[in-house]
Chains A and B, each alone.
Chain A
C-alpha cells in the first residue's frame, strides 16, 4: 500500500510561484485529510472496497439472525417486527451497500489501469460519488439507533405498505432518502466511467481490444444511468405522498399501487444485471489467465453482455406475473425473459471454450471463478423456471425465488468478486494470499452456501412463502429450514476465514513482485502496488490482451516506451489532478439535506421554517457551496517529472520495479 498511502511524488512544477489561495489546496499525503480529499481512483476504489466489505458483514449478521429465527418452527429469536426489519435491511444492504460498491471498488481501481489511463475523466466527481455513497449508507442505517427503527418495508418497498398510512414512522423516510443518495452516487460514478472508457483509452486501445472487465464496466454504467432514474422517480413520488399528501399511490384519490411496481422494476430488473455483469467481467479475466489462453469468442462475449444490458430493459414485469396483467402482457414478458437466457448461456459456453485446450491452473481465484460458473448455471436454470409464467404463479413470493436469486447473487456475483479480490490482491497491495487458506475459505464458503440455499428450492415448491417470520411444524418445512440454518452458519465461518485471511495478508502476507499470475491485461504491467500516476509512460496497445502481446514483443515495446517517455517529458511531465475537499463538502451537504428530509419531524409550529425545512435548506446551501467552490477552484493540477529510470525524486517505490 505504500505508494497509495504515503507517496510523496509531489515534485511540484518548478515554474509556478508559491501560491496562497482563497481555495484551500490540501496536500496531505497521509492521515484523515488525505483520505477525505483524495481524488486518486485507486484510493477511492480501496475506500469503496472497505465500506462494501464492512456492510457485507452487517448484511451477513442480518442474514444469520434471519436463519436463526427460522431454524425451528415457531422460533423466538426475533419478534415479527424485528424479523421484517431484518429481511428488509439484509436485502437493501447486500444489494446497495455490499455488492454494488464492491463492484465499484474494482471499476475504480482496475478499469483505468486496464485502459492505460492515469485516472478517471473527472477525479473530483469520483470522490463525490464515494462520499455520497457513504452518506446514503449512513442514512439507511440510522434507524438502528433511533426509536423508529430501521426500515421494514421489504427491499422493494411496495406501496401502499410504505405509505404514511401503513408506515407512519420515519424508518421508510430514511430508506427513501438513503436510496436517493445512493442513486445520485451511482449515477455520478457511472457517468464518469462512461466518459473514461470512451475517451481516455491509451493509443491503440480500440473498443474491441478492451478487456472484458472494462466492457462490462461500460455496459453496467449505461445500465445504471438509464435505469436509476426510474427508481429515483418512484422514490420521489413516494416521498411526496408521505411528506406532502400527494396522490401518486393514494388509492382513495385514484392512485394505483401497481404503478410503484412498474417504476420500481423497470429499475429493478436492470439492477440485477448491474449486479451480475461486473462479476461476469471479472470471471472473463480470470478464466483466460488461469487457462493460459485467450477468452473464447471475445466478440460474442462482448455482444452478449451488451444484449443482456439492452434486453434487460424489456423483461421487468416478470417480477409481476402474479399482479393480473392479462394474458398478452404475461406472454410477452415470459418470452422476453426466456430470450434473455440465450446471451447468458452463450457466455457460459464461451467460458467453457476458454478452458478447453488450456493449461488450467487451479489457484484460489480460479476456484472461485469455476465455482461461479457452476453456481450461476444453477441459478440461471431456476431463473428459466421462473420465466415460465404459469410455473412462476406458484413460485413467486416463495422460497424458490430466494433460492434462485441467492444462487445468482452469492454463487454468481459474490463468488466472482471474492475471486477478484484474490486475483488482484497482489497488484493492489503487493502481497499474495496463501493458497491453502484461500482454498480452505473457498471450500467452506462453497459448502456452506449450497447447504443453505439448495434446500430452499424444495421449501418453495413445498409452499413456504417468503418474508415470513415464522412457520408451523406440520407443513413439512422443518428439516429444510434446519439444514439451511446450519449451512448459513457454515457459510458464516467460511466468510470469517476469508476475511481473516484477507486482513492477515494485507498486514503480513507474502510479498510478491509484478505479474504474479503471468496475466494478459495491461494492469499487470505496473509495479505492485502501482505508483500514484499509474503509467510512467502511457502504453501503446497493439492487440487484445495487450500485456500478453507486450510480453511476447519485449524489445519492440521497450523501444516504444523510451520514445514516448521522452515525448511526455518534453510536454511538461505527468499531469496529475489536485486533491480537493469540495467533493466531500458537497456530499456532506447532501447528507445534511437528507437528514432534514428523512429524520426530522415535521414541526407544525413555527410554521414553515421549522427544523425540518431549516435543516434541509442548510444542507442544500452546503451542497451548492461545495459544488460552486469545486467549479471555481479550477482543475489545472500539477506535474510530476520522472528521471531517466522513471523515478521521481525520493520515489520510495524505486526498489519495486
Chain B
C-alpha cells in the first residue's frame, strides 16, 4: 500500500477486496453497532414514557422546544461544515479544510453549550434531576450519552485540526510535540471558557443585572478566553511544509462519518424525545 504520486481516487482503494478503504468499512460497521447502542437507550426512554408514574412531571412543562430546535439546527449546520471539510481535503485544499473543521468545532461547541444550559435549566429551575423522576433518568442518560458522543467528536476534530499542522519527521521533533500539545490545550481552553462565559452572560441577562457586573465579575474568564483565541491564531500560522494532505482524506472522511452519524442520532432523539410530546 505504498503511496502513489498523482491524484488519489478517494472512492476506490485498489488494495482491498471490495475497493472500500479499510478505515471507512471499520467506521461504518462501528456505526451500525452504535446504532444498536442508541436504539437501546431510546427504547428505554420510550418504554418508560408509555408507563409513567401517576405524579410524573410532564415533558411539555419542562422542555423548551425553541431552544432544542435551535441547537438541532446548529448541529445540522455543523454537519454541513464537516462535509465541506472532507471535500476540501479530498482536493488537497488544506486551508479550506482547516477552516471548515474549525467551524464544525464551533457549531459543535454551541450545541454542547446549549445542552449544558438546558441541563442547568432542567435541574435548577424545573427541578428535574437524573434521580428524582423516571423522565429525568431516561432523558439525562440518553441526551447525556449523545452529548458525550458529540464531545468526543469535538475532541477528535480538535486533534485532527492540530494534526494538520504536523511537520514531516515529527517523530524526532520534540519541539513540535510540545507545541502541538499547547495548541490542543488552548483550543480546548477556548471552547470551555467560551461556553462558561456565554452561559454566565445569559444568566446575567436573565437575572437583569447590568453588563458591567458581568464583565467585572468574569474578567479572568474573559481574559483567558481572549488569550486562548489569540494563541490559537498564533499557532495556526503557516510554518513550513506539513505532513498532511490528500492522503489523509480517508481519516477526515471517517471522522466525518462519525460526525454525521451523531447528527442523525440527534435527529432521531429530537423526534422521539421532544417532538413526540407535542403530537
Residues of chain A within 8 A (CB-CB) of B16 are: 199-200
Range class of the B interface residue count:
35 or more
Whether a CB of chain B sits under 8 angstroms from the CB of A137 is no
Residues of chain B within 8 A (CB-CB) of A553 are: none
Whether a CB of chain B sits under 8 angstroms from the CB of A22 is yes
Whether a CB of chain A sits under 8 angstroms from the CB of B199 is no
Given known pairs A227-B36, A228-B33, A229-B33, the reply for A253 and B25 (CB within 8 Å) is: no
Q: Complex formed: what's the CA distance from A421 to B39 in Å?
A: 39
Contact of B26 among A21, A121, A233, A244 (CB under 8 A): A121
> Among the listed stretches A85-93, A187-195, A447-455, which one makes contact with chain B, having 4 or more residues with CB under 8 Å of it?
A187-195
Given known pairs A194-B29, A254-B51, the reply for A22 and B131 (CB within 8 Å) is: no
Whether a CB of chain B sits under 8 angstroms from the CB of A201 is yes
Q: Complex formed: what's the CA distance from A575 to B1 in Å?
A: 8
Residues of chain A within 8 A (CB-CB) of B34 are: 229
Q: Complex formed: what's the CA distance from A226 to B30 in Å?
A: 9
Given known pairs A22-B177, A121-B26, A628-B159, the reply for A200 and B131 (CB within 8 Å) is: no
CB < 8 Å A-B pair total:
119
Main secondary structure of the interface of A (DSSP, over half): helix
Tell me whether B131 and A244 are in contact (CB under 8 A): yes
**Minimum Cβ distance to chain B for residue A219 (Å):** 13
Q: Complex formed: what's the CA distance from A46 to B214 in Å?
A: 63
Which residues 383-416 in A have Cβ within 8 Å of B in the complex? none
* Highest count of chain A CB atoms <10 Å: which of B52, B131, B133: B131
Tell me whether B17 and A198 are in contact (CB under 8 A): yes
0 or 1 for each of B103-142: is its CB under 8 Å from A? (1 = yes): 0000000000000000000000000001101101110010
Range class of the A interface residue count:
35 or more
Tell me whether B36 and A253 are in contact (CB under 8 A): no
Residues of chain A within 8 A (CB-CB) of B29 are: 191, 194-195, 225
**Minimum Cβ distance to chain A for residue B15 (Å):** 9
Contact of B33 among A225, A234, A256 (CB under 8 A): A225
Q: Complex formed: what's the CA distance from A634 to B1 in Å?
A: 14
Tell me whether A232 and B51 are in contact (CB under 8 A): no
Whether a CB of chain B sits under 8 angstroms from the CB of A263 is yes
Residues of chain A within 8 A (CB-CB) of B58 are: none
Whether a CB of chain B sits under 8 angstroms from the CB of A169 is no
**Minimum Cβ distance to chain A for residue B149 (Å):** 13
Q: Complex formed: what's the CA distance from A228 to B171 in Å?
A: 37
Contact of A230 among B1, B26, B40, B133 (CB under 8 A): B40
**Minimum Cβ distance to chain A for residue B188 (Å):** 12
Given known pairs A21-B171, A22-B171, the reply for A259 and B17 (CB within 8 Å) is: no
Residues of chain A within 8 A (CB-CB) of B37 are: 229, 232-233
**Minimum Cβ distance to chain B for residue A249 (Å):** 10
Q: Complex formed: what's the CA distance from A5 to B46 in Å?
A: 53
0 or 1 for each of A359-385: is its CB under 8 Å from B? (1 = yes): 000000000000000000000000000
Contact of B32 among A20, A225, A237, A240 (CB under 8 A): A225
Q: Which residues of B contact A (CB under 8 A)?
A: 1-2, 16-18, 20, 22, 25-26, 29-30, 32-34, 36-37, 39-41, 44, 47-48, 51-53, 56, 130-131, 133-134, 136-138, 141, 159, 163, 170-174, 177
User: Which 8 pairs of residues, A with B, have the shortest CB-CB distance?
Assistant: A229-B37, A233-B40, A229-B36, A199-B16, A254-B53, A21-B171, A225-B33, A246-B137
Task: Please name 15 further chain A to chain B contacts, defined as beta carbons within 8 Å, in addition to the given A230-B40, A233-B41, A256-B48, sorted by A numbering.
Answer: A19-B171, A19-B172, A23-B171, A122-B22, A200-B22, A225-B30, A226-B33, A229-B34, A230-B36, A247-B131, A247-B136, A253-B133, A254-B48, A254-B53, A266-B40
7 A-B residue pairs with CB within 8 Å? A122-B26, A199-B18, A199-B25, A205-B17, A232-B37, A237-B141, A247-B131
